[in-house]
Every structure is written in C-alpha cells, then in structure tokens.
Structure 1
Amino acid sequence: MDALQQHLFDSYRAVRRGEPAPPAPGTHDLAVLRELRDHRRFARVLAGRPAAGPLGTALAALLTRLGLGLRRPRGGPTDRP
C-alpha cells in the first residue's frame, strides 16, 4: 500500500468515526527537513564543532583566502575609533 492509498483509507476511517481528516501526504515534509537540519546544527554546536558543517567551513575558508569572505559592517558596538 502506498502513501496515497493509506491516506484515503485513513480519511475514510476518520469520516466514519467522526474525527478530523489526517493531513495529506507530504504536507509537512519541508518543516520536518528544516527541523532535522536545525537539530543537527544544534548538536554540532553542543559538540564544539562549527555549525556550518565541513563543506560550509571549507567554502568559507576558500572565500576568505580569495578575499571574498564575509565582512562585518563597520560602526558596530565593538569597533573603536
């Protein structure tokens, strides 16, 4: 039984019982993937590793070496005249 057939079966059962219908398959997929990404980043920070991951860290280092890295805006609270 695939996801659509299961959804139709669950919807039919919910109508028969007077319960609200379940969400359609794939409705919350993006939210679940975002939460998984956030959880993995949080776990990396707790472990003392960079939250960006090895690929992001390597790319940031390469861009910095090429002079294209991210720069902090001037005039912040830590800048001294």
Structure 2
Amino acid sequence: MNAMHQHMIDTYRATQHGTRIPPQPGRHDWQAARELTSQALTRPRPPRPPGRLRTALRRLAGRPPTTP
C-alpha cells in the first residue's frame, strides 16, 4: 500500500466519522521542511563537554584528538 492508498482509506474513515479530511500526501512537504530547518537554526546548541572529556570521547569514537 502506498501513500495515496492510505490517504484514500483515511479520507473514507474521516467522512464516515464526520471529522476533517487529512491533507493529500506531499502537499505540505516544503512547508514542513522549512519549519524544521528554522527550528533547528533557532534551537540553542547544548554546551560542549570540557576538553579532557571531549578528548576521551573522540578517542573512544576512533577519531584522532584535535589540537586546540
């Protein structure tokens, strides 16, 4: 079953129950992507771990330590 089949089933159920019909698949994809991008840009980043902890985590991940 693809997205269009699921939309047809959801539309049928919505009309039977008297609720709103869902939007068509792919209709608001650009708007959703734009909102996610803007949220990611405005969300504050978590603080970086201190130097020694960061070095240990990089070593465990198999990456070479960086020099500051």
Q: How many residues align?
A: 45
The aligned counterpart of 1:9 is 9
Q: CA-atom RMSD, angstroms?
A: 1.3
Q: Give ranges in structure 2 of 5+ residues lacking alignment.
A: 46-68
TM-score of the superposed pair, with normalisation by structure 1: 0.49
TM-score of the superposed pair, with normalisation by structure 2: 0.57
Q: Give ranges in structure 1 of 5+ residues lacking alignment.
A: 48-81
* Percentage of identical aligned residues: 40
After the TM superposition, which parts of structure 1 deviate over 4 Å for at least 4 consecutive aligned residues?
A: none
Q: Which amino acid aligns with 1:20?
A: R
